[in-house]
Amino acid sequence: MKNQVKTLIDRIEINPRILVGKPVIKGTRISVEQIMRMLASGMNEGEILDQFGHIKKEDIQAAILYASELVQDLHAYPRQFINQIKIR
């Protein structure tokens, strides 16, 4: 499992010269954010692959994995409590 995760994460790159350093699918200008927004809008994997013929299923999986790693340790609060949180 760890090797599979590492292999997927290796498909994502961050380069300040590409999309101002946003994480992208390696060798493209397709951002993790763009993939996540497409999925959130209801597009399925096949539709994304059709739109970007040069990426693979594993690239989409890598984008999902990368996004999930970002929010893994995120502390989320119900919206009504946001104004009550004191940031040090």
**pLDDT at res. 13:** 97
* Residue 10 tokens, joined: 């290796």
Question: Dihedral of CA 41/65/13/50: which sign?
Answer: negative
**pLDDT at res. 55:** 97
d(CA 6, CA 31): 19
**pLDDT at res. 31:** 98
* Residue 59 tokens, joined: 């690239």
Domain topology for 2-84? Arc Repressor Mutant, subunit A (1.10.10)
Closest CA to 64 of 77, 48, 51, 53: 48
d(CA 3, CA 6): 5
- pLDDT by residue for the chain (88 residues), tens only, comes to 677 778 899 999 999 999 999 999 999 999 999 999 999 999 999 999 999 999 999 999 999 999 999 888 777 666 666 666 655 5
